[in-house]
Structure 1
Amino acid sequence: MIIATTIQEVTDQINAWKAEGLTIGLCPTMGYLHEGHASLMDASVKRNDRTVASVFVNPIQFGPKEDLATYPRDFDHDCQLLEAHGVDMVFHPEPSEMYFDDFCTYVDMDVLSKTLCGKTRPIHFRGVCTVITKLLHIVRPDRIFFGQKDAQQLAIIRRMVRDLNFDVEVVGCPIVREADGLAKSSRNTYLSPEERKAAVILSRTIRLGQEICAGGERNAAALLEKMKENLASEPLADVEYVEVVDGLNMQPVEQFKEGDLVAMAVRIGSTRLIDNFTVGDPMIQVR
């Protein structure tokens, strides 16, 4: 596996692969990889001749009071996982490689970035769109892979690619969960043993929401009331939001349909966790 730390190294290798007519998949990550990330690599390896993963903790998507400095990092472990899952090249740049000292050009989006996580993380999606735009220009992939756990991010990238005419296919991959249902996340490592037990309230509430939808409920207020009641049963859960939004534009809806998104952000202790389901998707398996 090639380990590249500079943009020039990546573009030289991409040019060589493209000269051979090879297809390229890109899996952007911030590292501290787990089985959820591995599922993206597996999907890319299956559908492309070559797979590139980025491991880059993107500073411009973190707010001033967020966890940039403490975000977990273990590049040696990341490389072992990437190589085991067939990744051909990992791009691991320093922030100075991605952003000049006087960097002042950003990719921003209206509407989709204003709801859900965008309400409390106002600069987050500007940072995401900017770094993904740069990676798309650097790697020039045929396909780019994202997890459904970050459903708003996935919707935003799909819209950005459409609006700005990027020649790339955006592939969404299912949420990967622990045996008890908790969605895999690098931030799960922040949880104490007590908090880890409490955190399963998210996936159990997701399962409850799915059961209510499967029973025919389509009124958002009725669904959210029951889901919030369930979250309130866990003393350590501090709910930031539980919302039902249109699956394409991320705007709240009163009556929902298949393809719409039910999403939540909940703090367990100081750790912010997210989870979601798409109405009509198969139910998650939660013990």
Structure 2
Amino acid sequence: MASAIKIPPGIRLFNKIADFRQWRREILLDRKTLGYVPTMGALHKGHLALVSTAKSHCDHVALTIFVNPAQFAPHEDLSSYPRTLQADLDKLASLGPGVASAVLVPQVEEMYPAGIDLDVSKQKGTFVEVKGISEILEGKTRPAFFRGVTTVVSKFFNIVQPDNAFFGQKDIQQCYVIKSMIRDMHFPIKLEICPTTREEDGLAMSSRNTYLTPSQRAHALVLYNALKKMEKLYAAGEHNVSSLIKAAHAVVEEERQKVKKLNEGWEIKLDYISINDKSDLSEVGDKLKEGGCVMSGAVYVGKTRLIDNLLVN
């Protein structure tokens, strides 16, 4: 890997776990703290904001870049997910010297010694699962997704052994799942959840945004606008959950009809809109109480699945 990739000065690039662990041991013996940012690559400003925040908390920052097969279903985009290692390293270097200290890019064979089949029923080896919270919201549409996430993150927590781990709010349910795993597995790691980084028009930054055609990008704010509609109504005194969700559905439906009239061969399809308790993402009942909530959702814009959320109060 090193021979094909131009490694920016000041960044250590590893593709063997043992080599990374040797570097990690040196950091530990030097009594320096380590922040960790897990990624699948295709880095954007959201990832870079996590790295900068991690550097403000810790002496060193390490990233992993690994497109994790275990969190993809057989019909999902594992093969087409963008892999842009050189551009990722260059973006990290653009943050300035000493911000990102190390990047681990492990091989699938080393991460999953027993192999990894996308069909869960055929998988072998050890997996980590957080029951309950993994099965709602995103877990309904992607039933094996969080099992794959918690498995690979637990592996990386063991490999990297960070003092702090930095995750983005955009994947809010993932944050709750990882928080539960840290608690239940007694990982000596502090979880830091950082605000969603957005484009100027409000679209949550995501590596999958690169899939959007120009026409689809023009309609990609549909979910954000639906969530903002609920937030606005809530601020105006509407606390009936069904009424809020109905208003969000109407925003999505209006945009769906606009796209349908374009007759371009793609469509907007709603996956879900939900309002959940801020403490554990449980259902909130018919009426929202004071104290805040999480408004979240997912839509398909063409074949691209977009997710977003707002933390209210």
What is the TM-score with the length of structure 2 in the denominator?
0.87
| 1:99 matches 2:112 | yes
Q: Secondary structure at the match of 1:176?
A: coil
CA distance in structure 2 between the aligned counterparts of 1:259 and 1:147, rounded to whole angstroms: 19
Matching residue within 36, 45, 56 for 1:26: 36
For these two proteins, the number of residue pairs brought into alignment is 280
How many Å separate the matches in 1 of 2:237 and 2:111? 48
Distance in 2 separating the partners of 1:223 and 1:162: 33
Comparing 168-177 and 249-258, the one that deviates more: 249-258
Rounded to whole Å, the distance in 2 between the matches of 1:155 and 1:256 is 20
Q: Report the 3-state secondary structure (helix = DSSP H, G, I; strand = E; otherwise coil) of the residue aligned with 2:78.
A: coil
Q: How much has 1:256 moved relative to structure 2?
A: 2.9
Matched, 1:276 2:313: no
The residue that corresponds to 1:140 in the other structure is: 161
Listed as ranges, the gaps of 5+ residues in structure 1 are 281-287
- Give the superposition deviation at 1:83: 2.2
Q: Does residue 252 of the first structure (1) align with residue 283 of the second (2)?
A: yes
Structure 1 residue 195: Cα displacement: 0.6
Residue identity in the other structure for 2:17: I
C-alpha displacement at 1:249, in angstroms? 2.4
Please report the RMSD computed on the Cα atoms of aligned residues, expressed in angstroms: 1.1
Aligned match of 1:122 in 110, 133, 143?
Answer: 143
Describe the superposition over 1:199-221 as per-residue Cα deviations: whole angstroms up to 9, x where unpaired.
11122222212211222322211
Query: Is residue 110 of structure 1 aligned with residue 141 of structure 2?
Result: no
Q: Which residues in structure 2 correspond to 1:261-272 (within 5 Å)?
A: 261-272=294-305
State which drifts further: 198-207 or 176-185: 198-207
| 1:88 pairs with one of 101, 124, 132 | 101
Distance 1:154 1:243 in 2: 17
The letter of the residue matching 1:78 is D
CA shift for structure 1 position 139: 0.7
Aligned residues of 1:241 and 1:265 also touching (Cα < 8 A) = yes
1:229-248 aligned within 5 A: 229-235=250-256, 236-248=267-279
Query: Deviation of residue 248 (structure 1)?
Result: 2.9
Q: What is the CA distance between 1:143 and its match in structure 2?
A: 0.3
Provide the C-alpha distance between the structure 2 equivalents of 1:218 and 1:104, rounded to a whole number of angstroms.
47
- Structure 2 stretches lacking a partner, 5+ long: 1-10, 116-123, 257-266
Q: How far off its partner does 1:136 sit?
A: 0.6
Give the Cα–Cα distance (whole angstroms) in 2 for the partners of residues 172 and 65 of structure 1. Answer: 30
**Distance in 1 (alpha carbons) for counterparts of 2:39 and 2:235:** 33
> In structure 2, how many angstroms separate the alpha carbons of the residues matched to 1:147 and 1:259?
19
For the residues of structure 2 that align with 1:49 and 1:184, how far apart are their CA atoms?
A: 27
How far the C-alpha of 1:247 sits from its partner, in A, is 2.2
Q: Does 1:3 align with 2:13?
A: yes
1:77-226 equivalence runs, <5 A = 77-85=87-95, 86-101=99-114, 103-226=124-247
Measured against aligned partners, the alpha-carbon deviations of 1:146-195 in whole angstroms (never above 9, x if no partner) come to 00000000010011111111110000010111111111011111111111
Deviations 1:98-124 (Å, cap 9, x if unpaired)?
Answer: 110355100001110111110011110
- Alpha carbons 1:247, 1:261 under 8 Å: kept: yes
The answer for the alignment partner of 1:285 in structure 2 is: none
Check whether the contact 1:25–1:52 (CA below 8 A) recurs between aligned residues: yes
Q: Tell me by how many angstroms 1:20 deviates.
A: 0.8
Letter paired with 2:109: S
C-alpha separation in 1, matches of 2:189 and 2:239: 34
Larger Rg belongs to:
2
Report the alpha carbon displacement of residue 80 of structure 1 after superposing the two structures with TM: 0.8
Q: Which shows bigger deviation, 211-220 or 222-231? A: 211-220
Q: Which amino acid aligns with 1:262?
A: M
Q: TM-score, normalised by structure 1?
A: 0.95
Q: Secondary structure at the match of 2:79?
A: coil
Which is further off, 145-154 or 208-217? Answer: 208-217
SS at match of 1:71: coil
In structure 2, C-alpha distance between the alignment counterparts of 1:83 and 1:107, rounded to whole Å: 34
* Cross-structure match for 1:284: none
